[in-house]
Structure 1
Amino acid sequence: MVNADKLRLGVNIDHVATVRNARGSAYPDPVRAAKLAEAAGADGITAHLREDRRHIRDADIDGLMASLATPLNFEMAATAEMQSIALAHRPHAVCIVPEKREERTTEGGLDVAADDNRLAQFIAPLAAAGCRVSLFIGHEPRQIKAAARIGAAVVELHTGAYCDHHYEGDFAKRDAELAALIEGAALAHSLGLEVHAGHGLTYDTVQPIAHIPEIMELNIGHFLMAESLFVGMEPAIREMRRLMDEARA
């Protein structure tokens, strides 16, 4: 049976750092944002330390590890540098994501099936250090099966295409993506993987994803940080939490 526990909300605070770095200042502080997100009801904090340090920086990870009361989900590329940083900090969770210098945001999921031997060796020491290893992937069955085969604990399904089709008004493609995500979540759960989802989710798109019973956690950042500019972080997060709970009920 599917676990009926409350759907968790992980709040990604990367883009607080984007605003800070645009002026090269010390503010706004991503750690302060993370603490506000916790107070507003976030179940965890997500931060992506990119190779080019375009938003989150090493000192931010230091501060988050020292300050958070909730788990840190440390997003990172599958590189030796990032593995070393993760092993030094040993966060609650490590999410391996594809990363390209020129992209504005993560464009798709990992190709686990084509890189399974390297990724299996890469994630083994992270798991041995006590980190829950998650792989950020698409809903394709071959990727989900490969994630289970190499020993990942979690898969996070990429919801970007579903969200993009919604805002483009192509509802047939949106609904096809949603159906594929539903099937992918069921397959992952059947293989013993914990299922998370995220990327591009907003108030308008979150409920159909939150309604998928196998999904245990949503990671949402850019929209919540943007909405916080208008209403404040606590109201923005509480409204997302309300919508998630309503869909789950």
Structure 2
Amino acid sequence: MPHLAVNVDHVATIRQARLAAEPDPVTAAALAEVSGAAAIIVHLREDRRHIQDRDVEILRRTVKTRLHLEMAATQEMGGIARRILPDLVCLVPEKRRELTTEGGLDVAGQEGALTAFIVPLAAAGIEVSLFIDPDPAQIAAAARTGAGYVELHTGTYAEAKTPAARQIEFDRLLAALDQARGLGLLVNMGHGLDYANIMAFARVSGVNEYSIGHAIVARAVITGFPEAVSRMADIVSGFVS
């Protein structure tokens, strides 16, 4: 069965709104793990708007499952990754003004630079994923960079306004999944997935991991972190492998 990876960025977003000590994403990560998460995700942004360096350092010492670090492909972030040694780095595009990540990396347009960036990460024993749109050219380029994974951007599917539009995006994701696996890549999916729209993937085979953050944190505000994570973990555990 696929795994559930829980992104705790928005626990830190709440904390940083008051520049306070709580709520602590480290505590949230521990609760997520005991409630069924198979991995913890944090995005260390260049502007440090939510997750802080301190969070990543403590999480590396305390996470019992897998620690996944989302980051831009910059010299600073590469150095942090090689020092912290997360289990997986997911390279994402990053804009200062965006509310959240908007679309996937242009791997086809940056193939040489990304290939060079991945080399020292792989040498340090870090697995690498590329966050990309379900586009054939991007998938083909990703397979040539040396990355072992892609994370398919599900945001367009999640934000589709009509059933017909959503079906088109769902079919694009399925085609991308088949292409990526055919090229030897492991496939994760994430962005905008929630307790309702994820159900379309219940009979989709070949997905390694679903990355979910905002929906879980939003539910946790009402029901608590253990319930929010365990409910999503129960859903994903029922999917085909």
Would the TM-score normalized by the shorter structure come out above 0.5? yes
In structure 2, what is the Cα distance between the partners aligned to 1:51 and 1:210?
A: 35
Residue 28 (structure 1) aligned to one of 19, 23, 26: 23
Instruction: Normalising by structure 2, report the TM-score.
Output: 0.98
Residue 212 (structure 1) aligned to one of 200, 204, 207: 204
CA contact (8 A) 1:7 1:210 kept: no
Residue 199 of structure 1 pairs with residue 191 of structure 2: yes
Residue 53 of structure 1 pairs with residue 48 of structure 2: yes
Aligned-residue offset at 1:210: 4.4
Corresponding letter in the other structure for 1:173: A
Residue 66 (structure 1) aligned to one of 61, 68, 73: 61
In structure 2, what is the Cα distance between the partners aligned to 1:209 and 1:105?
A: 23
In structure 2, what is the Cα distance between the partners aligned to 1:18 and 1:131?
A: 27
3-state DSSP of counterpart to 2:234: helix
3-state DSSP of counterpart to 1:219: strand
Counterpart position of 2:127: 132
Aligned-residue offset at 1:113: 0.3
Q: Deviations over 1:78-122 (max 9, x none)?
A: 100000000111110000000000100001000000100000000
Counterpart position of 1:114: 109
Aligned-residue offset at 1:240: 1.0
Counterpart position of 1:243: 235
In structure 2, what is the Cα distance between the partners aligned to 1:185 and 1:214?
A: 7
Counterpart position of 1:177: 169
3-state DSSP of counterpart to 1:45: strand
Counterpart position of 1:102: 97
Residue 148 (structure 1) aligned to one of 127, 143, 147: 143
Corresponding letter in the other structure for 2:115: A
CA contact (8 A) 2:44 2:69 kept: yes
Runs of 4+ with deviation above 4 angstroms: none
CA contact (8 A) 1:208 1:247 kept: no
Q: Deviations over 1:141-173 (max 9, x none)?
A: 1100100011110000000010001xx3x1111
Residue 227 of structure 1 pairs with residue 231 of structure 2: no
Aligned residues: CA RMSD: 1.0
CA contact (8 A) 1:7 1:218 kept: yes
3-state DSSP of counterpart to 1:248: coil
In structure 2, what is the Cα distance between the partners aligned to 1:156 and 1:99?
A: 15
Instruction: Normalising by structure 1, report the TM-score.
Output: 0.95
Residue 162 of structure 1 pairs with residue 144 of structure 2: no
Count of residue correspondences? 241
In structure 1, what is the Cα distance between the partners aligned to 2:5 and 2:65?
A: 10
In structure 1, what is the Cα distance between the partners aligned to 2:14 and 2:44?
A: 15
